[in-house]
């Protein structure tokens, strides 16, 4: 690797790590935010969903913008927006202001996340890209590991607001590294980003999410049906716009590749399982088991550290054995991990009720994440790498958005008994979904040859 490429790798790890740290740290502090600013599980859902909604809806536009206007330029802009929104989160006087600032964070993350992967694709040749993606995934896992521990400690020692302020120095370093190390690169496509498509998918996902969270409690079945129909109609409009647009942000032609379609389907069910289950885990630890925020953060450390250690190794192995066997085995191990968490959810001991399941999750995700990302980039032409990264990120975020929205059906309230019952149900559902992800890899992902 050249020095410039190394700086790009470090900068993109830190930049995308902003989103990973923020998600893991905020997820852990939700029980505390809920107590300080009020609201039930529904309010906690929207602290997460406001971020996930705009990230999910606009990450496609972010990938298209990176291809058209320059990956380096879009990355820096995304980091700047994310940082300003983080400051607004930390200063939020009430829950409404926090949710609005979280939405702005989602906009920034939608720009920087696909641009970071596209920058890696431009900085490394095909031979080195698999290893670079593995390092990126592993280091991102390490930053995710820092999130719960740092978030728990900052919340307990200072305030939940400090969790957002920590993003500022990380963002400054990421921008400096990419500015110094990266050359500007872009795809061959030209023209404006598809604003109509971005608006349609935002309204569509927003309506569906609202139907799953707010509508059941405010208006019952008629309001749920109306919001759901509106959401489905707008998502249909989005597909129609993308099919006819001169410069679509989600080129539907990419889905002609069976591998690209299969890996995105795998991403959808795997990340839905992961997001829904991990949204409930901090509530289970803090509300049902009585952990402090710091103890809950430390309890989650094996998952992220395991991913951080295994993902770079996985990135090297994929070039020897191919992605398909790893994409089959990884989700199976994840399913086993969720199964253990559900089966031993009543155990009072962390060592038997939580740790074994987390270790299996770490092993499975460490095996699967790097091959999944690399396969997405390999399945498309170079000029579409930004769009492909954006689509795959959008699929992962939509999966998380819908999974967190559905948590309300599993948890009726926020007391310990209801959280424990919902947690057990969520782990069983997550195990089934992860098993389905393995089956998708078996059936849909082509038999890749080692590089």
**Most confident listed range (255-269, 371-385, 410-424):** 255-269
365 against 210, higher pLDDT = 365
pLDDT on residue 201? 85
d(CA 387, CA 369): 19
Does pLDDT of 55 surpass 90?
Answer: no
pLDDT on residue 120? 76
228 against 412, higher pLDDT = 228
Show the tokens assigned to 227: 């919001």
Q: How does pLDDT run across 379-416, given as a tens digit for each residue? A: 777 667 767 777 887 788 788 878 877 776 666 555 56
What is the total residue count of the chain?
451
Does pLDDT of 243 surpass 70?
Answer: yes
Show the tokens assigned to 98: 């926090």
Cβ proximity of 49 and 405 under 8 Å: yes
pLDDT on residue 216? 56
290 against 200, higher pLDDT = 200
- Helix 355-378 to helix 324-343 angle (10° resolution) is 150
Percent of the chain with pLDDT over 70: 84
> 3-class SS at 188?
coil
- Region 4-13: what's the mean pLDDT? 78
CATH 1.20.1250.20, the chain: domain bounds? 3-180+251-444
Report if pTM > 0.75: no
3-class SS string, 145-203: HHHHHHHHHHHHHCCCCHHHHCHHHHHHHHHHHHHHHCCCCCCCCCCCCCHHHHHHHHH
Q: How does pLDDT run across 37-47, given as a tens digit for each residue? A: 776 666 777 88
Cβ proximity of 429 and 258 under 8 Å: no
The CATH classification number of 3-180+251-444 equals 1.20.1250.20
């Amino acid at each position: 690797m050249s020095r410039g490429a190394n700086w790009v790798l470090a900068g993109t790890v830190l930049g995308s790590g902003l989103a990973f740290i923020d998600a893991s740290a905020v997820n852990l502090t939700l029980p505390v935010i809920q107590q300080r600013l009020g609201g039930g599980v529904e309010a906690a859902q929207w602290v997460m969903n406001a971020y996930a909604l705009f990230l999910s809806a606009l990450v496609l536009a972010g990938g298209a913008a990176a291809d058209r206007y320059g990956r380096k330029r879009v990355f820096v802009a995304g980091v700047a927006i994310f940082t300003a929104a983080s400051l607004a989160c930390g200063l939020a006087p009430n829950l409404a202001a926090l949710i609005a600032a979280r939405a702005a964070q989602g906009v920034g993350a939608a720009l920087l996340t696909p641009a970071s992967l596209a920058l890696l694709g431009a900085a490394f040749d095909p031979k080195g890209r698999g290893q670079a993606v593995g390092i990126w995934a592993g280091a991102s896992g390490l930053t995710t590991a820092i999130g719960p521990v740092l978030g728990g400690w900052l919340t307990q020692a200072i305030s939940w607001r400090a969790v957002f302020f920590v993003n500022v120095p990380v963002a400054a370093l990421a921008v400096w590294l990419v500015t110094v190390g990266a050359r500007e690169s872009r795809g061959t496509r030209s023209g404006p980003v598809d604003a109509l498509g971005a608006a349609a998918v935002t309204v569509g996902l927003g309506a569906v999410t609202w139907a799953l969270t707010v509508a059941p409690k405010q208006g019952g079945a008629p309001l749920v049906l109306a919001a759901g129909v509106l959401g489905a109609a707008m998502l249909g409009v989005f597909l129609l716009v993308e099919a006819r647009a001169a410069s679509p942000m989600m080129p539907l032609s990419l889905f002609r590749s069976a591998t690209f379609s299969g890996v995105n389907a795998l991403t959808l069910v795997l990340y839905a399982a992961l997001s829904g289950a991990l949204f409930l885990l901090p509530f289970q630890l803090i509300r049902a088991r009585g952990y402090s925020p710091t103890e809950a953060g430390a309890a989650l450390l094996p998952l992220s550290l395991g991913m951080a250690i295994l993902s770079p190794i996985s990135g090297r192995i994929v070039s020897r054995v191919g992605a398909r066997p790893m994409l089959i085995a990884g989700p199976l191990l994840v399913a086993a991990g969720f199964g253990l968490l559900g089966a031993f959810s009543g155990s009072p001991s962390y060592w038997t009720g939580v740790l074994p399941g987390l270790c299996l999750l770490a092993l499975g995700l460490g095996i699967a994440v790097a091959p999944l990302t690399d396969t997405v980039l390999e399945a498309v032409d170079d000029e579409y790498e930004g769009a492909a990264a954006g689509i795959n990120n959008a699929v992962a975020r939509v999966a998380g958005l819908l999974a967190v929205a559905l948590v309300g059906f599993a948890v009726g309230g926020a007391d310990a008994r209801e959280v424990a019952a919902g947690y057990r149900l969520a782990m069983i559902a997550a195990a089934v979904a992860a098993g389905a992800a393995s089956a998708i890899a078996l059936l849909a992902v082509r038999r890749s040859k080692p590089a």
